[in-house]
Chain A
Amino acid sequence: MKGCIIVRLEVPGVIQYRDIMLRTLSATCKLITPGARSSRASLFSAHLVSAVGEAYNNIALHGYAGRETGTIRMEIEQGSDWIRVVLEDTGASFDPAGARPPDLDALPESGLGVFIMRSFVDEVTYVPGPPNVLTLFKRLDEPREASPNFRRRGPAQRV
């Protein structure tokens, strides 16, 4: 499915640049959500921003931990009713498919990031690098229950 790429952004791979990425994404979400004040549009943005935020955290806090910090590149592709976000980094590979779902009844204080990421988008693909390429796809549709959907391409390396 092809759309048009409307945003490319590259920032240092540290946590302090997270807000720039997310505000850019949030602004982009408004371009495909007619009636941006509707609850449906707000939910679309909230879910996608949450998912990309967790992906960014993983790269900045874990992927580049203990090694020279590279960059995080974000590319946002827009269709008529969907957005695809591609994140590239050169840190340690992390295969989100390997993360166990949390036991929510135990009120975990950590280990929630990948679950949030996978739950709030329609499709996740990951290709280990370098560069590692994580793709998140979300369609503007009715709210859905958390049902992590994951597809992996190429050999994965879990760290």
Chain B
Amino acid sequence: MLFSTSAANDVTVLRIEGELDAVSVTDIRASLNTIAEGKPARVEVDLSALRLIDSSGVGAIVSLFKAVRAYGGSLTTTGVRGQPLAIFRLLRLDRVLIA
């Protein structure tokens, strides 16, 4: 899994590539916490290069979503397709996380 963040005009973009699963989720948790602590008005999670996600990865994204929502910000995901989209639809996350 690779990830990167960029910030401009109170918008933080988080791009995640590869697999976000029980193996890799520990690598990204600290960065998710850092994003939430910065309290940007808007967080955009670019998942267009995400190949696979599991329940652990979903938990990390939902956790960030809740943290952002708690301070009044917004979080959306973009580019969700393939297996991650199947998971999002099953868990009804497409209704709240997909722009």
Query: Are A and B subunits of one complex?
Result: yes
Residues of A within 8 A of B (CB): 15-16, 18-19, 22, 42-43, 45-47, 49-50, 53-54, 57, 60-61, 104-105, 107-110, 112-113, 116, 119-120, 146
* CA distance in complex: A105, B58 (Å): 14
- Residues from chain B with a CB closer than 8 A to the CB of A22 are 52
- Chain B contact-residue range equals 20 to 34
* In contact, B21 and A46 (Cβ under 8 angstroms): no
Interface residues of B in 47-93 (CB under 8 A from A): 52, 54-56, 58-60, 62-63, 65-66, 82-83, 86-87, 90-93
A53 and B22 alpha carbons, distance in the complex (Å): 9
Sorted nearest first, the 4 A-B pairs with minimum C-beta distance are A46-B83, A112-B55, A109-B59, A113-B55
Evaluate whether A107 and B62 lie within 8 angstroms (CB atoms) in the complex, with A19-B19, A50-B86, A50-B87 already known. yes
25 contacts between A and B (CB under 8 A): A15-B22, A18-B21, A18-B22, A19-B23, A22-B52, A49-B52, A50-B54, A53-B54, A54-B54, A57-B55, A61-B22, A104-B92, A107-B65, A107-B93, A107-B96, A108-B59, A108-B62, A109-B62, A112-B58, A116-B87, A116-B91, A119-B90, A120-B86, A120-B90, A146-B90
Q: Which of B6-62 contact A (CB under 8 A)?
A: 19, 21-23, 52, 54-56, 58-60, 62
